[in-house]
Amino acid sequence: MTAKAMAHDLRAYADWCIAHYEDVPPTIVNDLNVAAALIEQQAAKIAELEAKLPRWIPVEERLPKKGEDGRDCSWVHCIVSVLATRVYSRYDGEAEEYKFVAPAMFDTEQKIWHAGQEEAAFDVNALIQPEDAEGDYIGYWMPYPDAPKGAYLP
């Protein structure tokens, strides 16, 4: 049941009580209407907060754009979700798939992801489709969240 439906039902019940009972205390009707208003206010606040949250963006929907991270540079800092396929020292030699999240930079000019850090870094061509990818594929990305207010940033 949605918040809108709950608020509607509470108000409808208040109206029903008035129509079907002669001596309904006004406080009950008032409480039902106040509860409906609180539910609507909370639903609006939740929607407002959800709109501020970063969300995972499918690469099929769009890739990062120059300056999206607030810097005037062709490299955009972000977080990526990686589907990796590796052949380790398994006895059967079969590839193993796993997913992980990593920091990344996206080159908006060459359409290349540079994911991971230091010796664990790797590059992925953003124009290769998942069915054609050998090894790593980046399926989703999101901008970095804002730093905490008042945080010390070197």
Name the stretches of the chain with pLDDT < 50.
none
Quote the pLDDT of residue 131: 66
CA gap 5, 143 in Å, rounded: 34
- Calculate the alpha carbon distances from 24 to 15, 38, 76, 134 in Å: 11, 22, 62, 71
CA gap 97, 76 in Å, rounded: 27
Quote the pLDDT of residue 52: 82
CA gap 65, 68 in Å, rounded: 5
Quote the pLDDT of residue 36: 93
Closest CA to 145 of 81, 82, 80, 78: 78
Quote the pLDDT of residue 11: 92
Widest CA span of the chain, in angstroms? 80
What string of H, E and C letters represents the secondary structure of 126-143? Answer: CCCCHHHCCCEEEEEEEE
Separation of CA 138 from chain center: 16
